[in-house]
Structures are given as C-alpha cells and as structure tokens.
C-alpha cells in the first residue's frame, strides 16, 4: 500500500505538468471556464463539505490555464472538478521547451489539489483491492514498518498534499518491509536502479 502512496505523490508531481480527468454534466451549478463558457460544477465531486475547496481549486486552475495561454501554450479549460485534459499529450508537452518554460512561469498560479477533490477523484476500489491493501499494511507493520498506516474502509489512507509522509520510509526496517511485502501489491521485491 505504501507503494501506492508513493505513486500518488509522484502522480501529484506529474499533474503539475499534465492534469487529466473526465467529467460529466450532472446538471449542477454553472461555473465559468477560462474561455468564458460555462461548465457544470458538481458538489458531489467535492466530497460533501469540500464545495468551497472545489470552487477555489477550479478558479485557481482557470488562472493557471490563462497564464499558460498568455505564455503561448494552448491549454484546455479545466472541467467541473478542475482537471485539465491533455488527451494523452502530457509526455509530448513535457518534452516541449516552450511548455516547460510556460509551466515554470505559471507554477505559482497552479493550486494544490484539495484533499476533498483528490478523494472524490479516486477510483472506487473493489473488495479484493481493499483486501490486498490491508494485507500489505499488515505485512509492512510486521516486517519493520510499525508506523505504516492502516487503510481506511475505502482502502485509501489519510493522504494529504503536504508532501509529508505519514510514516518513516527511510528507516532500515521500512526499507526491509517494502522489499518483503512488495509481491503482495505486484511490485518487484528488488526493483532495478533508476537511470538518472
């Protein structure tokens, strides 16, 4: 399960360059888009009490889109959850120096994804996936990472966008547990060294 949290953190970094998502029209209140057209805002996508978070996030994403356009990159309008759909162009854009320059200039305008929005955008896990996450957490705790968090009823932990880890990943016990428990989640026990 910790691998999933690490992957979630890595995904958040990638989202700074290429946000993807999809949305549907649920007939909710209209929110103006960066181009002036209205899109539907879904209160349920905000995860209940996160309606203000969602509205602020969508507004921030519109400001980021405007900045990117002002810097020569045609970025699509954010959807009702603030997601920007690059339709598979994320990798190509990341290699584009003009995009990278605009991203750097506009990075201060791009808001962090609120927890309520992040939680609403997570895919619903199957009972088997939740069981696997629980087995992984139990394995981690028994093999040296006693502070590894248990998953919640939905299979997800209490991840935040703060970047701070909820457990000590650098200890020898945590690293041993990660290697020991990796097969439970389908990760290699000894992954190859990355190329820099």
Judge whether 9 lies within some domain: no
Residue that finishes a domain, picked among 121, 137, 165: 121
What's the total number of domains in the chain?
Answer: 2
The predicted-structure confidence for 12-58, as pLDDT tens digits, reads as follows 333 333 333 333 333 333 333 343 333 333 333 334 445 688 899 99
Q: pLDDT band for position 193 (50/70/90)?
A: low
Q: pLDDT band for position 164 (50/70/90)?
A: low
Judge whether 143 lies within some domain: yes
How open is the CA angle 100-71-38, to the nearest 5 degrees? 110
Are 27 and 104 contained in the same domain?
yes
Judge whether 3 lies within some domain: no
Residue that finishes a domain, picked among 121, 136, 160: 121
Calpha distance 142→149 (Å, rounded)? 12
State how far the alpha carbon of 22 is from the alpha carbons of 15, 94, 99, 160, in Å.
14, 21, 22, 22
Which of these ranges, 79-83, 99-103, 138-142, has the smallest mean pLDDT?
79-83
Judge whether 87 lies within some domain: yes
Q: pLDDT band for position 192 (50/70/90)?
A: low
For residues 101 and 71, is the Cβ–Cβ distance under 8 A? yes
Are 89 and 105 contained in the same domain?
yes
Residue that finishes a domain, picked among 79, 99, 121: 121
Calpha distance 81→88 (Å, rounded)? 19
Beta 30-32 vs 38-40: how paired, if at all?
antiparallel
Are 101 and 63 contained in the same domain?
yes
What domain range is 73 assigned to? Answer: 18-121
State both tokens at 113. 């994804």
Are 145 and 66 contained in the same domain?
no
Percent of the chain clearing pLDDT 90 (strictly above): 33
Total-model pTM: 0.48
């Amino acid at each position: 399960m910790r691998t999933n949290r690490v992957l979630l953190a890595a995904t958040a970094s990638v989202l700074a360059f290429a946000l993807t998502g999809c949305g549907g029209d649920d007939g909710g209140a209209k929110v103006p888009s960066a181009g002036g057209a209205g899109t539907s805002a879904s209160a349920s996508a905000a995860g209940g009490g996160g309606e203000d978070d969602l509205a602020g996030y969508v507004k921030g994403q519109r400001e980021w889109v405007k900045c990117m356009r002002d810097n020569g990159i045609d970025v699509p309008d954010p959807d009702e959850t603030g997601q920007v759909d690059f339709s598979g162009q994320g990798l190509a854009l990341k290699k584009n120096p003009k995009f990278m320059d605009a991203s750097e200039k506009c990075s201060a305008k791009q808001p962090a994804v609120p927890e309520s929005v992040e939680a609403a955008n997570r895919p619903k896990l199957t009972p088997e996936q939740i069981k696997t996450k629980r087995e992984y957490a139990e394995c981690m705790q028994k093999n040296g990472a006693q502070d590894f968090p248990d998953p919640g009823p939905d299979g997800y932990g209490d991840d935040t966008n703060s970047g701070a880890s909820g457990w000590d990943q650098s200890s020898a016990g945590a690293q041993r547990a990660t290697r020991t428990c990796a097969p439970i989640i389908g990760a290699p026990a000894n992954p190859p060294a990355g190329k820099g």
